[in-house]
């Protein structure tokens, strides 16, 4: 049986259940197509079914679960159309963000971005892909925060469940981790040099990697994808 998940009793249960389930879905601990049973989830989290229901409704809104009334709830399969849409939005926003950062050349921001890259290198050396992915997310969040656009990062995050899962299938591929580190380094080097074009070119190259390999990833994991 899955291990019980302890919640912080000083916080509302529903957001914590949502956050935990979302992370399990994105990390593929809950694989696409998995069936979710409310009573079992309630028991695992030590809560009533109400917080579980609320969390599942939020996940349904993000297209991460499919709820079939009077039937079952399942983790949604990866939809490449939704992944492509999220990619388009993220690329559009981050192209503008790196333009702003390259124009400002803020030494403090550049130092913070390099620190996140250093953490990624350390996680890669330890073969800790979970830690590597967290540092990767933090690197990109740092860019949004530097421009005062944290709410836009939250928007992108809420729409990126399908591209994030696709990416998590891609990260273990040989050379992918090293490619991400090299891409991030190229982006920051261009920002530090004040080159908008180089920063945007490096970002475009960086964000195109996973989607360009979508069909190969799908072929390797056919049961994880919708038709």
DSSP string, 165-225: HHHHHHTTSTTHHHHHHHHHHHHHHHHHHT-HHHHHHHHHHHHHHHHHTHHHHHHHSGGGB
Q: Look at residue 158 in the predicted model and tell me its pLDDT.
A: 95
User: Using an 8 Å Cβ cutoff, are 28 and 168 in contact?
Assistant: yes
What DSSP character marks residue 78? B
pLDDT value for 72: 86
pLDDT beyond 90 at 25: yes
pLDDT at 3: 82
**69-91 pLDDT, tens per residue?**
877 899 999 999 999 999 999 99
* Among 156, 161, 123, 160, residue whose Cα is nearest residue 141: 156
Of the candidates 15, 28, 13, 167, which has an alpha carbon nearest to the alpha carbon of residue 90? 167
pLDDT tens-digit readout, 140-190: 999 999 999 999 999 999 999 999 999 999 999 999 999 999 999 999 999
Q: Share the mean pLDDT of the chain.
A: 95
3-state secondary structure of 30: coil
Q: Smallest Cα–Cα separation from 95: which of 50, 54, 152?
A: 152
| d(C-alpha 22, C-alpha 11), whole Å | 17
> Does residue 1 register a pLDDT over 60?
no
The Cα–Cα gap between 169 and 211 comes to: 11
Domains and their CATH numbers in the chain: 13-75 (1.10.10.10), 80-224 (1.20.120.530)
The pTM assigned to this predicted structure is 0.92
Dihedrals phi, psi of 194, to nearest 5 degrees: 75, 20
What are 75's strand-pairing partners?
A: 65
Residue 33 has a pLDDT of: 96
């Amino acid at each position: 049986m899955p291990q019980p998940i302890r919640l912080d009793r000083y916080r509302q249960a529903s957001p914590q259940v949502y956050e935990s389930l979302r992370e399990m879905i994105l990390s593929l601990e809950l694989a696409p197509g998995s069936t979710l049973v409310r009573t079992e989830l309630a028991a695992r989290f030590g809560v009533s079914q109400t917080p579980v229901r609320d969390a599942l409704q939020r996940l349904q809104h993000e297209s991460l679960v499919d709820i079939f009334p009077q039937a079952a709830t399942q983790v949604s399969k990866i939809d490449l159309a939704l992944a492509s849409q999220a990619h388009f939005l993220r690329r559009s926003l981050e192209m503008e963000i790196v333009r702003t950062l390259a124009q400002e050349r803020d030494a403090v921001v550049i130092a913070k971005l390099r620190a996140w890259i250093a953490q990624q290198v350390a996680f890669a050396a330890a073969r800790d892909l979970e830690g590597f992915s967290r540092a990767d997310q933090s690197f990109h969040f740092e860019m949004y925060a530097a421009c005062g656009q944290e709410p836009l990062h939250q928007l992108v995050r809420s729409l990126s469940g399908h591209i994030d899962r696709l990416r998590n299938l891609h990260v273990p591929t040989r050379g992918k981790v090293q490619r991400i580190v090299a891409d991030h380094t190229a982006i920051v080097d261009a920002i530090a040099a004040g080159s908008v074009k180089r920063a945007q070119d490096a970002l475009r190259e960086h964000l195109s990697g996973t989607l360009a390999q979508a069909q190969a990833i799908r072929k390797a994991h056919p049961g994880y994808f919708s038709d």
